[in-house]
Structure 1
């Protein structure tokens, strides 16, 4: 078997969740250090993505660093919270210049924390940047504000990478970076080498993309810096355990990464509302290890030949033989 990839998770995987019905949460509050301890209890995680600011945490960065070290973890990324109440009309695209400055100040501060923790990248999820109604915004102006804000941020920190996590909607009905294509368009327009894409598998599904195709496009432009994996029913961003619904498309996604020799972290972005968070992570990683083994035995030459003929049935049978050998009778 080839060497296993590095596995990671967003630290929110181990938090407590609320929604508009269970407003008191689906369990007791879990503090940041306990979240890190739970991540460490999984056993196969090497890195975590941390939200910033550390809401409800009154300790120091040294306390966070110590918690990571005692659990054998490293912070791979910082995700600044530019999608909270202060930014309900947007962060980089907010109509008020003072709020845009507030957002950029937070982003610069978060980048400083990422550098102190030795992170690989800062993740930008501009969930409040967009619109809800026709005629609500001037589309040209909103797009230009997004590009100008990103240029100011990313150019100021050439020594660290930044990634845009695109998503079609939620919380805004239309998010300004909704797809791999539009996100690439913005990145190429900005033209900075340290700005790329984090491709969230579930967001790609939800946006009616083929995730493997989206990954290939981002790779072809040299912009696939990171991935998050999960699953959903394609009607919403459910953040279910990876592989629980779209088995074949998940396998195709990872086949595309291997075919292109993409070497990044296989990172979980799951929201186990009602499930044990440690067990959900363990089960996901067990599945991902199975995907890795199946990639090792996949007949890539036969698959390439079938694809060259556009032979869907032959390609499916080759994939089933690698991924689901007990399904076949020969």
Structure 2
């Protein structure tokens, strides 16, 4: 029986802020890595490039010092001033080229430090008001730029992370289906989708079905765990709002043989940081183990013969334990 692998986006381990407040204290990258080693069951690190990194040798030395592995390298193409209104889909080719160059540099860094892949969430690409962008050229620019980045260092796959909104009111890649469509247009097999549970819920998706859509279209998947109220991306502790969705996602991840990290994309804000992530680790491990214990063949057979009442009884007895 396989064990779950958990990690965290380390940007959440230090100071964060929104429009209204600042949360927690600023810390160095080394302090973040030391902190990861203290979280129950966490061994993976998703590190934001280029803002949390020294050189590859220094970074590898720190990872080794605290006994950690890379879950992914997250490339940030929204922070620089010229990319605030968008990066990969803008009319200005120079802006697009510099964004692609940043993704390529992230791939170079990932290869140098031994990270398995690069993930990119192009949040600034999209629009805020109607009649703001040319939808035709914006989509074609996304295809061209992401394709160029994906083709570079094909041994380091590039994963695309969809999100409905934020920082744009409408993100260009606002659903799993649209992300899959983009990858189909790109026609590069060294790509995948980062499915963030909260982003999927915010897009009114069922995360487990979205995961299946990725795999059934021949692409790879990487999972971020968290939760929200579907109205905004609150990055809450996993299963704190959508317990059954969480179990179903674990069930189908196991069905597809998912063996990457379940990487925590959750923000403690007002909560004690260590205990926040310990609780997230606790529920995620528990959900994974609960899904493992389910009678998989029986469940799939009940689905095949459309035994809806039997499936609901299974949920009540085996998952909710009532």
- The answer to whether the 8 A contact 1:241-1:280 is kept is yes
Q: Deviations over 1:107-147 (max 9, x none)?
A: 11111111111111111110001111111111110000010
SS class of match (2:16)? coil
1:275 pairs, out of 271, 276, 294, with 271
SS class of match (2:73)? strand
- The answer to whether the 8 A contact 1:177-1:183 is kept is yes
1:242 deviates by 0.5
Report the counterpart of residue 26 of structure 2 in structure 1.
Answer: 29
Output the CA distance in 1 between the equivalents of 2:12 and 2:317: 33
TM-score (ref. length: structure 1): 0.92
Aligned residues: 321
Output the CA distance in 2 between the equivalents of 1:62 and 1:304: 48
- The answer to whether the 8 A contact 2:71-2:260 is kept is no
TM-score (ref. length: structure 2): 0.95
Note if 1:167 corresponds to 2:167: no
Note if 1:80 corresponds to 2:79: no
Output the CA distance in 1 between the equivalents of 2:298 and 2:152: 48
Report the counterpart of residue 198 of structure 1 in structure 2.
Answer: 194
Q: Deviations over 1:228-283 (max 9, x none)?
A: 01000011111100011100011111111112222222211111111122222221
Report the counterpart of residue 51 of structure 1 in structure 2.
Answer: 48
Note if 1:257 corresponds to 2:253: yes
SS class of match (2:37)? helix
Output the CA distance in 1 between the equivalents of 2:174 and 2:168: 11
Output the CA distance in 1 between the equivalents of 2:301 and 2:154: 42
Q: Deviations over 1:84-108 (max 9, x none)?
A: 1331221111222222122122111
- The answer to whether the 8 A contact 1:127-1:172 is kept is yes
SS class of match (2:159)? strand
Output the CA distance in 2 between the equivalents of 1:284 and 1:68: 22
Query: Structure 1: where are the runs of 5+ without partners?
Result: none
Report the counterpart of residue 145 of structure 1 in structure 2.
Answer: 141
SS class of match (1:64)? helix
1:322 deviates by 2.2
Report the counterpart of residue 6 of structure 2 in structure 1.
Answer: 7
SS class of match (2:77)? coil
Output the CA distance in 1 between the equivalents of 2:31 and 2:308: 48
Q: CA RMSD in A?
A: 1.6
Which is further off, 169-178 or 293-302?
A: 293-302
Query: Structure 2: where are the runs of 5+ without partners?
Result: none
- The answer to whether the 8 A contact 2:251-2:288 is kept is no
